[in-house]
Amino acid sequence: MHLFFRRLFQTLKDFLFPPVCSACNSLLPYPLKYVCPACEINFVASYTAHGVVIPKMQYLKENYNLQEAFALYPFSKDGSIEKMLYALKYRGQKSVGVYFGKKLAAYLAKNLPPFDGLIGVPLHSKRKNLRGYNQVDIMGQTVEELLSIPYYPSVLKRVVSTPPLSQTTRDRRTVLANAFAGCFDALPPGGHFLLMDDIFTTGATLEACLNVLSSSSHYRFSIATIAYRI
Ligand SMILES: [Zn+2]
C-alpha cells in the first residue's frame, strides 16, 4: 500500500511539475527523467576508456600508485555536462546525481573488476548544510545500490572550509593542504577502493585526499570523476 501511494504521489508530481531536461530545461517526453535526447547525444562517453591520457590524472596515478584513474566525460564550458553538474550542485536537482551514478555504475560493471568499496570526496559541513546534500554521496549511493559495492561517505572528512576553485587566487595545493582528515575504521584491510568526485580540474582536491588515504599502507586505491575539464 505504501508503494502504491508513493507511485501515485510521483505520478501526480510528474503531472503537475513535468520533469525538464537538466541541461536545456526543455520538457522531457515520458518516461525520461534527467536529460533530453538532443543534449545526451552530445556526450562523448568514456573519455579515458578510449586511451586518452589525462596528464594530471596520469601524474596522480604514478605518484600514488593507483590501479585506475579515469573520468567519464570531457567537460567543456557551457556544454551539457557542465549545465547538468551546475543544476546538481546549485539548483537542487539531486536526480542529476542519480543519473551520473547510473552512468558510473554502468562503466564500472563493464570495464573494471569489482571494487571493495567507494569513497566520496566530502564537502565541509558548512557547505553541505547550505546545499542540503553532498552531490558525490548521491552518486556513490546510486552505485552502491546498483552494484552492491559499499559506499563510505565518512572515511574522509573535510576539516577546513576552503573557497571554491573559481574564487581562489593562491595555489590550490597550498589552500587544500590539511583540508582533509581520514578515519579508516570502517574499511576492510587489504581492499581496493575507488575514490570518487564530480569534476577533475587541477587534481589538487583528489591529491589532498590521496595524501590522507595513502598514509595507511593497508589499501589500494583508484580514482574516478564524472567529468574532466579540458
Ligand atoms: Zn536538453
CATH code, domain with 130: 3.40.50
The more confident residue out of 158 and 75 is 158
* pLDDT value of residue 177: 79
Indicate whether 98 and 12 sit together in one domain. no
* Residues by chain with Cβ below 5 Å of ion ligand 1: 21, 23-24, 36, 39
pLDDT at 49 over 60: no
User: What pLDDT, on a 0 to 100 scale, did the predictor assign at position 31?
Assistant: 86
On whether both 205 and 117 belong to a single domain, the answer is yes
**Taking a C-beta distance cutoff of 8 angstroms, is the pair 221, 210 a contact?**
yes
Give the whole-angstrom CA distance, residue 6 versus residue 72: 33
Residues 32 and 70 in one domain: no
Q: Distance from the CA of 35 to the center of ligand 1, in angstroms?
A: 5
Instruction: Indicate if 16 and 108 belong to the same structural domain.
Output: no
Rounded to the nearest integer, the mean pLDDT of the chain is 88
Tell me: do 210 and 225 sit in the same domain.
yes
Q: Do 70 and 96 lie in a common domain? A: yes
Rounded CA separation 14/30 (Å):
9
Task: Kindly report, residue by residue over 178-191, the tens digit of the pLDDT.
Answer: 899 999 888 988 99
Shared domain check, 168 and 225: yes
- Range of the structural domain that residue 35 is part of: 1-41
- List the Cα angle 76/59/62 in 5-degree steps: 140
C-alpha 85 – ligand 1 centre gap (Å): 13
What number of CA atoms fall less than 13 Å from residue 230's CA on the CB side?
16
Q: How many domains does the chain have?
A: 2
User: What's the predicted TM-score (pTM) here?
Assistant: 0.87
Q: Residue 46 above 70 pLDDT? A: no
What secondary structure letter does DSSP report for 185?
A: T
pLDDT tens figures, 99-137: 999 999 999 999 888 899 999 999 999 999 999 999 999
36 and 93 share a domain?
Answer: no
